Amino acid sequence: MTDRKIPRATAKRLPIYYRYLNILLNSNKQRVSSTELSEAIQVDSATIRRDFSYFGELGKRGYGYDVKDLLNFFKDILNQDKLTNVALVGVGNLGHALLHFNFHQNGNMRISAAFDVNKDIINTVQSGVPVYAMEDMNKQLREQQIDVVILTVPSEKAQNVTDQLVEIGIRGILNFTPLRLAVPSNVRVQNVDLTNELQTLIYFIDHYGPTEEPKDEE
């Protein structure tokens, strides 16, 4: 395995490869070509081969890729054998939906704690997850050794809550608020802006043909 840093776009495709390889293995598929992967996940085969090349020789010319070997490789890359506990901060409508979902299709991640200011749900269990007061966030995150947080608080509260999370030692934030958070260089933020994604989809529908694909930036 290489320690070479890979492009962000490549990193975002790795879980897609892993998910589809699981499907292939479950259907008793023993090998797969980049062309077959391309047709299944709608990523061009040249991009797939380039993505895989960052990790060395994963396949054989004329043979393709061994499904089980490739799946095990990405399982290791993505730490699928390690259970990662994450916390949810903000249990509103979106927060409740995420608690109900709780990564049921992925056994190596789970929401193990949630935090909110609503006294009606503090000290209750929502979808199997205990909800704590915001005042208990520092204590609970440290005790449970959680360093990844899903943030679904109101926008006007987002930066203040983020500052608290940084002080506690959180290393990663999945940010569902429209606010672009200011964090130090040792904290990673992944933004999920549902409104932006929907507007982008509408733009593509309006400006591209049904078979025309916009060019991805690496």
Q: Which of 114, 110, 109 is nearest to 124 (CA)?
A: 114
User: Virtual CA dihedral for 190, 194, 52, 20, nearest 10 degrees?
Assistant: 120
Residue 95 is assigned to a ligand binding site: yes
Q: Which long-range contacts (CB under 8 A, 24 or more apart) does 110-113 make?
A: 110/83, 110/84, 110/85, 110/86, 111/85, 111/86, 111/87, 111/150, 112/85, 112/86, 112/87, 112/144, 112/146, 113/85, 113/87, 113/88, 113/140, 113/141, 113/144, 113/146
Residue 107 is assigned to a ligand binding site: no
Residue 128 is assigned to a ligand binding site: no
Residue type, 153: V
User: Beta-carbon neighbour count of residue 26 at 10 Å?
Assistant: 8
Q: Which residues are annotated as a binding site for NAD(+)?
A: 90-95
Q: Which residues are annotated as a binding site?
A: 90-95
